[in-house]
A and B are shown apart, each in its own frame.
Chain A
């Protein structure tokens, strides 16, 4: 289903590329820090698509880092419905301080084939002893919370068209910040069902909206890749303001 069309061509070199790229958003990191972060990705595990990384109720004794591919945080409802509460892309941690908690209150699964690093608590603690890394970790945690806030606004106050457009703009900016876009294209390996599960929409409705966006010449979305033909118009149509991603500090 998902074809990593763009990933191979645009993936940052070296296993730790996306993470180092992302954590240098607020300030360049010293070489020692960069090497220590890059080393986290070295022994990442290869995982198939749609495999659980950790499930609700499990004891979180590792911090997980997405090195390659996509994953999602989700919650299952008693009737079997699923709410996706976050998409995780290369360079994203699945909760930096999760090992503080006794058990997971939600699950995390891969969406595509992925490389996931399992990092023991002690190793994370050693890293946070580096002041610049600790500061970058706090930045990442605050941005994760800001993304969650923006999703509440998206689900609560935008119609389906605006909400889908907003999600596309957000993922574009996040992918761009880790060097995984080419012009206005990026790998978006999501099914209609997964987009719907993230926004509280039915797949049928998602398909209707995608068709409207295509017919308006805003996007092309096929074989797991999205091209935004008119980024400015999509941003305006969905009320997207990237301020909450705090990546303007770069460049």
Chain B
């Protein structure tokens, strides 16, 4: 299974040196979405929501696979 790395760009840059073995890009997208939603949840619990932070997914060769803004992972309604 290919390995994907999930680098976080929020207040700071958090490099993922370990990565996760996942079946394909779709599985990587699901893992990215789940990660973003969980971090957003914890922010919201503390009364804060920042939607422009990003998660960048790379493959084992370091090539970009996808870039997701936190806002892409949640539908926000007034």
Contacts and interface: CB of A to CB of B under 8 A. Distances in A.
B18 A191 contact: yes
Interface of B: 6, 8, 10, 12, 14, 16, 18, 20, 31-32, 34-36, 38-39, 42, 45, 55
A222 to B, nearest CB: 8
A204 B18 CA distance: 10
Given A202-B31, A204-B6, A211 B38 contact: no
A21 interface: no
Given A191-B18, A207-B6, A202 B12 contact: no
Contacts of B31: 202-204
- Top 8 closest pairs, chain A to chain B, by CB: A204-B35, A202-B35, A211-B14, A205-B38, A204-B6, A202-B38, A202-B34, A207-B16
Contacts of A203: 6, 18, 20, 31, 35
Interface residues of A, number: 14
A13 interface: no
Given A207-B18, A208-B39, A211-B8, 19 more contacts: A191-B18, A192-B16, A193-B20, A201-B38, A202-B31, A202-B38, A203-B31, A204-B6, A204-B31, A204-B32, A204-B36, A204-B38, A204-B39, A204-B55, A205-B38, A205-B39, A207-B6, A207-B8, A215-B12
A160 interface: yes
B18 A208 contact: no
B35 A211 contact: no
A56 interface: no
Contacts, number: 46
B21 to A, nearest CB: 9
A159 interface: yes
Interface of A: 159-160, 191-193, 201-205, 207-208, 211, 215
A201 B34 CA distance: 9
| Most-contacted residue by chain A among B16, B31, B34, B35 (CB, 10 A) | B35
Contacts of A205: 35, 38-39, 42
A215 B6 CA distance: 18
B57 to A, nearest CB: 10
